[in-house]
């Protein structure tokens, strides 16, 4: 890929040329680095050149990238779940590391229905989960993460149709309901 280097004054192009990005330090002071004819924000920042007007404009947001970042944020926000025998609902972590551990625990709970294990909540406390709780929490977390991916997909589809999506609305556990935890005996 080449960067397009532009020298301009009064927001009008005076001179331009292509340069290898690895030789960027060779670009003289006073030059502006841009990419034109590219969708989304250039990774280094910068504006797009409009050859019709000879001016620069801000590129449109890269909606798929922004939606993916927001999904990663939301999918790690945690799920609320009330273990059997607990007085209160607890927030359980849903980040990748927590999901990997939960997957292993769900397999162990399938192999050993008498399994009971301490599990750390997102608030830092511990609760004892039985095999049915572990499997139900696993299914609940999996559905929650799937709902986050569904919202990311909906944002991408909105953007592809030319609409401006709302990155802040519609996420599970926010204004859209969190998936209902499965019944423990169904797990």
pLDDT digits (tens, 9 = 90+) for 107-143: 999 999 999 999 999 999 999 999 999 999 999 999 9
Residue 147 CA to residue 4 CA, distance in Å, equals 40
How buried is 19 (Cβ within 10 angstroms: 0-12 exposed, 13-18 middle, 19+ buried)? middle
What's the pLDDT score for residue 85?
85
Q: How confident is the model at residue 13 (pLDDT cuts 50, 70, 90)?
A: low
In this structure, the number of other CB atoms found within 10 A of the CB of residue 119 comes to 21
Place of tokens 């169904």: 186
What's the pLDDT score for residue 44?
42
The number of angstroms, rounded, from the C-alpha of 136 to the middle of its chain's C-alpha atoms is 24
Residue 147 has pLDDT above 60, yes or no: yes
Q: Which helix (H) or strand (E) covers residue 185, if one does?
A: none
What is the sign, positive or negative, of the torsion defined by CA atoms of 13, 16, 20, 23? negative
Residue 50 has pLDDT above 80, yes or no: no
Interhelix angle for 96-111 vs 131-160, to 10°? 140
Q: How confident is the model at residue 62 (pLDDT cuts 50, 70, 90)?
A: confident
- What are the structural domain ranges in the chain? 3-57, 63-160
pLDDT of 74-83, one tens digit each?
Answer: 999 999 999 9
């Amino acid at each position: 890929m080449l960067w397009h280097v532009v020298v301009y004054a009064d927001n009008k192009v005076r001179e331009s040329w292509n340069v290898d990005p690895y030789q960027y330090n060779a670009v003289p002071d006073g030059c502006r680095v841009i990419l034109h004819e590219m969708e989304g924000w250039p990774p280094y920042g910068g504006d797009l050149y409009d050859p019709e007007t000879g001016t620069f404009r801000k590129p449109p947001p890269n909606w798929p990238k922004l939606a993916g970042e927001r999904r990663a944020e939301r999918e790690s926000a945690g799920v609320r779940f009330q273990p059997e025998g607990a007085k209160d609902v607890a927030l359980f972590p849903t980040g990748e590391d927590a999901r990997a551990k939960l997957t292993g625990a769900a397999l162990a709970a399938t192999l050993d229905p008498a399994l009971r294990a301490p599990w750390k909540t997102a608030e830092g406390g511990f609760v004892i989960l039985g095999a049915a709780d572990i499997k139900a929490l696993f299914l609940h977390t999996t559905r929650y993460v799937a709902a986050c991916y569904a919202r990311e997909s909906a944002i991408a589809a909105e953007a592809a149709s030319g609409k401006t999506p709302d990155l802040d609305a519609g996420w599970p556990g926010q204004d859209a309901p969190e998936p209902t935890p499965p019944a423990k005996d169904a797990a």
